[in-house]
Amino acid sequence: MTSSSSSSFTDLLASSDEEPKNRITNNSKLSDRIAERTGSGVPKFKSIPPPSLPLSPPPVSPSSYFAIPAGLSPAELLDSPVLLNPSNILPSPTTGTFPAQAFNWKSSSGNSLQNVKKEDKAFSNFSFQQPARQPTTSSAIFQSSNSTIQPEQQQTWGFQESAKQEAFVSERNSMVKMEYDSNSLQGFSPEIAAIQTDPQSNNGFQSDYGNQQQQYQSVREQRRSDDGYNWRKYGQKQVKGSENPRSYYKCTHPNCPTKKILERSLDGQVTEIVYKGTHNHPKPQSTRRSSSSITASNLGMIPAAPNSNPNEIHEQSYVTRGSGQMDSSVATPENSSFSVGDDDFDSQKSKSGGGDDFDEDETEAKRWKREGDSEGISAPGSKAVREPRVVVQTTSDIDILDDGYRWRKYGQKVVKGNPNPRAVITTYEGKHNHDVPAARGSGSRSLSDHSNHAAMAIRPSAVNHVSRNSIDNPVRDQRVPTTTTSEGELPFTLEMLQQSPGNFGFSGYGNLTGSYLNQSSTDEVFSRAKRELGVESLWVYIGDAYTTGHVGDGGLNGSKMEAGWSLEITWCAS
DNA sequence: GCCATTTGACCTTGT
DNA sequence: AACAAGGTCAAATGG
């Protein structure tokens, strides 16, 4: 880290020493989570038993899932990604159907798959009222799903706190392990579906309403048709660097090229699911109907998408790779690669503390190159295992971000010592020398466009996502840390915001929280930032990332990450 | 005997 | 070209 300016992340944070401490204190579960992620003890998915073992007692009291310490940050609660936006809803990679209901379900904060059966009646009088304004950031999820929801909203939605908590738990469980590598929207995998139907994951909620016997399918049936498709396991492999065995499945349909790779933790919980290819056939008819077949749409909350499969829940998360930014018009399994979860953690699964220099901590070999460009430079990125994630890999690795441009990731790097591996910064550098692809419609969007902005905030665990498309940025000449030294490029980092007049409020966790929970304030901040920075477009995504570090001004390679940011750089693919 | 899973060997791909 | 790691094959195994 350079000692350049007094307004570096670190300095800023140092000046508000209490804040970080409070964070840690308030987020009492964070350490546990980190421990989990670093493999020190706690099961990654303590609340989710293997689908095939539905009758075993919960390893952890269900109530513990609700143990949300007062003051716990939304980000913490939203450890799992779930910010959905209709515009980004993509066809299920496995079904080709659209997950519209999932989004609404999430945003409505009220329903879990498990409680649907009876909730059906319970909510008969439920009046779903969308907030006057669509949530534009992951805060929307927080607001709608966690217990800190604002009173007036609670009243409006007519939910009892307990009900919301249950729903929340369900959501968390449902997200169990899907994450992100950046990307997007995805259909819940069979395993996820199984998890969701797991009576243990719903805090016994189901036992009060449903016939568990009916919910428990034979192991065989579960394996084969959780997502409606039949799979045949054709291999298993122990992957280096992970204690979790990886199983390989093929769709049993003749000539169907679809495969999926499933990784499970030692206790049988699904930690990652990767789909490859798309089904070239309709989903096999299934006579079974499990509890998981009930979705929000069944409640009449939202119209089910055409051809939607009630057995599926779709998640969409914003990830730095950005495939999750694609909208349905362009995002298809054929042209996209996306995942749900926190893939940013994956590369750190075997890493721990350190605070070493950036260059010394690269673990992620993944490299993407700009389309049509043979050169590739290493860039930071992070990966660490923690929540289950679902990744869909298709026939292309080019993602279309919400800014409308096509991007190809070419590098990723992880920095040791990152107190929060999920802290990821995506920095857009330079200036496009072309217009936004027509496929995306209008030009780049600005924060003032809330509907579009919302579309970008897919992952609650989001990312510090700063985009700058103007070349006349006033802060251009500032001596600020950057993530690149490329001449002519205009790196615009989160730190710039902090160094900018007024400190837009991204230097501290408390501020982040405030941004999440107070949309109007966020708007004001953005508006102010754009005005004072003189940029046309300013996008900032802040998930549960700590802003406890910053990139040194020595450039990407020469920078030192005091606290360990995970960086990711994406080149425009156009 | 059937079918799905397991598992060691082999193949492919990336560095 | 060599090596490592991931992915796939196919015989063995078990229900």
Q: Is 60 exceeded by the pLDDT of residue A379?
A: no
A236 pLDDT exceeds 70?
yes
Q: Which of the four pLDDT bands, split at 50, 70 and 90, describes residue A133?
A: very low
Instruction: Please give the average per-residue pLDDT across A384-411, as a whole number.
Output: 52
β-pairing, A398-400 vs A406-413, is antiparallel
| Other CB atoms within 10 Å distance of the CB of residue A438 | 8
**pLDDT greater than 70 at residue A279:** yes
* Residue scoring higher pLDDT (A512 or A430): A430
Q: Considering the entire predicted model, what is its pTM?
A: 0.44
In the three-class reduction of DSSP (H, G, I as helix; E, B as strand; rest coil), residue A340 is classed as strand
Assess whether A223 (CB) lies less than 7 A from strand B.
Answer: yes
Which one is predicted more confidently, A270 or A348?
Answer: A270
The b-or-e profile of A31-54 (16+ CB within 10 A means b, else e) is: eebbebbbbeebebbbbbbbbbeb
Query: For A311-357, what is each residue's pLDDT tens digit?
Result: 332 222 224 222 233 332 323 333 334 444 433 333 333 333 333 33
- DSSP state, residue A324: G
Mean pLDDT is highest, among A216-220, A236-240, A556-560, for A236-240
- pLDDT for res A240: 78
Confidence band, pLDDT 50/70/90 cuts, at residue A507: very low
Spatial separation of the C-alpha atoms in residues A387 and A295, rounded to whole Å: 22
Cβ-contact A502, A532 below 8 angstroms: yes
Which positions on strand B lie below 7 Å from a protein C-beta?
A: 4-9, 14-15
Q: How confident is the model at residue A274 (pLDDT cuts 50, 70, 90)?
A: confident
Q: Could you check: is the Cβ of residue A237 within 7 Å of any atom of nucleic acid strand B? A: yes
Nearest Cα residue to A156 out of A125, A132, A128, A136: A128
**pLDDT, position A431:** 52
Give the Cβ contact number of residue A547 at 10 Å: 28
With 60 as the cut, is the pLDDT of residue A247 above it?
yes
Of A314, A349, A566, A306, the C-alpha closest to A458 is A314
Structure confidence at residue A239 as a pLDDT band (50, 70, 90)? confident
Residue A260: per-residue pLDDT: 85
The residue that minimises its CA distance to C1' of C15 is A220
pLDDT(A259) > 60? yes
A240 touches strand B (CB under 7 A): no
Q: Is the CB of A264 under 7 A from strand B?
A: no
A129 vs A439 pLDDT, higher one = A439
- Does the pLDDT at position A39 exceed 70? no
3-class state of residue A273 by DSSP: strand
Q: Is the CB of A218 under 7 A from strand B?
A: no
Whether the per-residue pLDDT at A261 is higher than 70: the answer is: yes
* pLDDT higher than 80, residue A410: no
The answer to whether strand B lies under 7 Å from the CB of residue A233 is yes
pLDDT of residue A339: 44
* Average pLDDT value for residue range A168-195: 35
Distance A187 CA to B6 C1' (A): 29
What is chain A's mean pLDDT, rounded? 40
Give, in Å, how far the C1' of B4 lies from the CA of A257: 19
Q: Per mean pLDDT, which of A135-139, A335-339, A491-495 is the most reliable?
A: A335-339
Contact flag, residue A220 CB and nucleic strand B, below 7 A? yes
SS (H, E, C) A85-116: CHHHCCCCCCCCCCCHHHHHHHHHCCCCCCCH
pLDDT of A211 reads 41
Round and report the angstrom distance from CA (A264) to C1' (C6): 17
What is the arithmetic mean of pLDDT over A560-568? 31
State the pLDDT at residue A476: 28
Q: How far is the CA of A220 from the C1' of B1 (A)?
A: 19
Q: How far is the CA of A254 from the C1' of C1 (A)?
A: 39
Q: Give the mean model confidence (pLDDT) for residues A3-11.
A: 34
Which one has a higher pLDDT value, A395 or A178? A395
Confidence of residue A142 (pLDDT cuts 50, 70, 90): very low
- CA→C1' distance for A365 and B12 (Å): 18
In order of A69, A84, A465, the CA distances from A108 in angstroms are 23, 11, 25
pLDDT at position A435, please? 62
Please answer whether residues A488 and A51 qualify as being in contact, where contact means their C-beta atoms are separated by less than 8 angstroms: no
**Confidence check: pLDDT of A245 > 50:** yes
pLDDT surpasses 50 at A26: no
CA of A409 to C1' of C1 (A): 29
**pLDDT tens string A280-295:** 788 776 544 433 332 2
